[in-house]
Amino acid sequence: MLGELTAGRGRLRPTKTRITTADGRVFIQDGDRIDQISEHEPGYIVDLHPDLSVAIVQEPWLYLGGQDVAADKQILRKFGIQRILNVGSGIENLFPEEFLYSNIEILDVPEFNIVPDLKVCADILEKSRKSGERCFVHCNAGVSRAPTVVIGYLVLKQSMDFTSALEMVKQARTCAKPNQGFMNQLMQLK
């Protein structure tokens, strides 16, 4: 029997696996060999310029943007923000004495299973809406993760279809572009 098993090894097809690390490096694993193929394809959106724009998704309570707004107390006060939902990686909550924070760290890679986090975030946002809190949702750049969370909320808690939710978020924040893996998962939400 062992001879049959070892003889069958020669018929197995080799597979290659693409690996993207949290810091954006990309590797290809081929059997026991691992080769780095890129240092320049981050697995997340790179935020190189300050973005102080605030997208109003649902007046008067649901706002969306990037970490630059979350670091600007004056802008947050101007919009009357009371709760901040931080879904970025490695972003410090700068004003815990002034705002209620909720943190759900989400990796911006297509392979990341976002559905469990979407459900937690949707519950946080619905509680915020029901209590009359103005909530600002952000990730690092406000392009992939935070828009994904807001779209997920609209589908899960406000019974919007995916296309309408995506359109609403893109009208509020034109640079919104969830990664393809997140888009695929959002389309399957119910």
From residue 50, give the alpha-carbon distance in Å to each of 46, 130, 141: 11, 32, 9
Cα dihedral 107, 60, 84, 125 sign: negative
**Annotation marks residue 121 as catalytic:** no
Strand residues in 59-179 grouped as ranges (E): 62-65, 83-86, 100-103, 135-138
Q: What is the DSSP string of 63-87?
A: EEE-HHHHT-HHHHHHTT--EEEE-
**Given 121, 135, 139, 175, which residue is catalytic?**
139
Q: Which active-site residues does the annotation give?
A: 139
